[in-house]
Amino acid sequence: MFMNTLKTGFLMLMLIVLFVIAGQALGGPRGALLGLLLAGGMSFYSYWFSDKMVINAYHGREVTLQNNPELYKMVQRLANNAQLPMPKVYVIPERQPNAFATGRNPENAAVACTAGLLELMDSNELSGVIAHELGHIKHRDILISTIAATFAGAISYIITILPYFQNNSRNNRRNNPAGTILIALLAPMAASIIQMSISRKREYMADRAGAEFSGNPLYLRNALKKLEYYSHNISMSKENPATAHMFIVNPLSHFDKLKNLFSTHPSTQDRIQKLEKMAKERHLL
C-alpha cells in the first residue's frame, strides 16, 4: 500500500513536471504557468473522479440487484471473500471480452465488464476474472492505474497540439523548436515505460489474489485462455492506448508488435503457467 501511494505521488509530480516543461518549450514562462495549472487540475480531477472518468469514456451502464441480480450477487460474494466493500459494477457495450477496475480506494471502487465477457465466459470463468479485478482493488492498484492513464492521455494531448505550435512558431519568438522536437520524440516513449512498469508485476499479484478469492486458480486460467484468443480476433470499438494497461488483458494486442519491449501486460502464457502451478499445489490439476 505504501509503495503504491508513493508511486501515485511520483506520477502526479511527473505529470506536473512534464506539463511545465512542455509549456515552457512551447510558450515560454506563460506556457509553463499554463502547464502547471493544467497538470494540477488534471491531478485533482483524476484523483477524485477517476472511476467516473474511465467508466464514462466507455459508456458504462451501472449494474444493480434489480437489473442484473446474477452478476451483482457474484460480485457481492467475491467481494465478501476478499473482505472488501461492495464496489459499483458496470457493463460496457463492447463485444471483446475484457474487464477492468478503477477508483481511488476500496471504498470508492468500480469493476467494469464488457458485454462480450458476460456472453463468452461461463460462471466459473467470469468469477475468476472479477476476482482478479477485486485483487487490484485489494492491493490498491486502481488509483495508480488510473493516474497512469491520465498521464498517458496527457502525453497524447501534448503530441496532438504540437503541430499547432510548430505552424505558428514564426509568430512566436519564444517557441523552442528543439524542445518541441524533443517532446515529440521522448513523450510517447515515457508514457509506454510508465504504463508497463506499473502493469506487469501488479497483474501477477492480482492473478494470485483472484485465484484465492474465486477459490480455484483454474477458473482464471481458463478465462485467460479465452481472453487471449478473443483479444486478437475481436477489436474494441473504442481503442484507447492510454487506458489499455487497465484491462485484464491488453485490448489492443493486435497493435502490440514489440511485445517483449513495450507490452503493458505480462505474457498471458506466463500468467497461465503460474496459475497452473498454484492449482497443482492445491492438487486441483
Catalytic positions: 133
Rounded CA gap, 276 and 270, in Å? 10
CA angle 72, 210, 125 (to 5 degrees): 65
C-alpha cell belonging to residue 273: 503457467
Rounded CA gap, 124 and 280, in Å? 18
DSSP for 102-119, please give it: EESSGGGEEEEEEHHHHH
Determine whether the annotation assigns residue 281 to a binding site.
no
Name 27's Cβ contacts closer than 8 Å, sequence gap at least 6.
34, 165, 172, 174, 175
Determine whether the annotation assigns residue 107 to a binding site.
no
Rg value, the chain, Cα: 20
Determine whether the annotation assigns residue 132 to a binding site.
yes
Name 276's Cβ contacts closer than 8 Å, sequence gap at least 6.
217, 218, 221, 285
Helices 2-57 and 142-167 sit at what angle, rounded to 10 degrees?
A: 70
Binding residues for Zn(2+): 132, 136, 203
